[in-house]
Amino acid sequence: MDDEARAGEAHTFGAFTVTTLVSHPPWYENSFLVHDTRSGDAVMVDPGAPAEEIRGAVAAAGCTLRAFLLTHGHPDHIGSVAALEEAFDVPTVLHREDLPTLEQAPQLASVFTGEHLGLPANRDPFDGEPTLDLGSLRPAVIQAPGHTPGGVCYLFDGFALTGDTLFNHGVGRTDLPGGDTAALARSIARFLEHVADDTWLFPGHGPGWTAGEARRWWAMMR
């Protein structure tokens, strides 16, 4: 499935619905609205898609947004967060070790696209590997340094969001500030130890796949 076709795609895991929004070229970054249909609570993960599309998805779902949840702080994953702060009075939640990556994002955006990038003012960093309390949503954090120093994956019941740590038959780049190829390999191996084969993995770019598929591919790569 190509990038444009994934936009608006929805997956259901029990009471949870995960809706994919895809940003414009050159990034084609996946943003995810994770919605608990029982409570109406939701989080927007990596809000790089256009702000008006994210606002529309939240309105269409009829949900209450509790947070912007970041797998890491690169500019393609936060492109709309500053604008969305004007519409939603919620914090931006990320690992504390990725705060420097977030602060560097405007400079990287200027280098790569020449565009001005605003940063979220309301930040709520966490440490370690907590189970986050975001209304009725309680994702487990799995630290995954390598693509960035504070990169993480979020594990829900039946699915996980892997950011730019692990793609469908690919891994994140490590040539940007804070990247570490060896650390990324360790993070992927450790993440795959935490997830069942039938867990669906939603990456930061490209289509999803299962943890079982990822585990078999990773074994061949290693």
List the domains of the chain with CATH numbers.
3-221 (3.60.15.10)
Q: What tens digit of pLDDT does each residue of 29-52 get?
A: 999 999 999 999 999 999 999 999
- The pTM for the full model equals 0.96
Q: What tens digit of pLDDT does each residue of 179-205 get?
A: 999 999 999 999 999 999 999 999 999
> What tokens appear for 51 in the block?
């702000």
Mean pLDDT of 102-130: 96
Query: Hey, how many other C-beta atoms are within 10 angstroms of the C-beta on 198?
Result: 10
SS3 content of the chain, % helix, strand, coil (to 5): 30, 30, 40
Residue 160 has pLDDT above 80, yes or no: yes
- Output the pLDDT for position 5: 63
DSSP for 156-199, please give it: -SSEEEEETTEETTEE----STT--HHHHHHHHHHHHHHS-TT-
With H, G, I as helix, E, B as strand and everything else as coil, classify residue 111.
Answer: helix
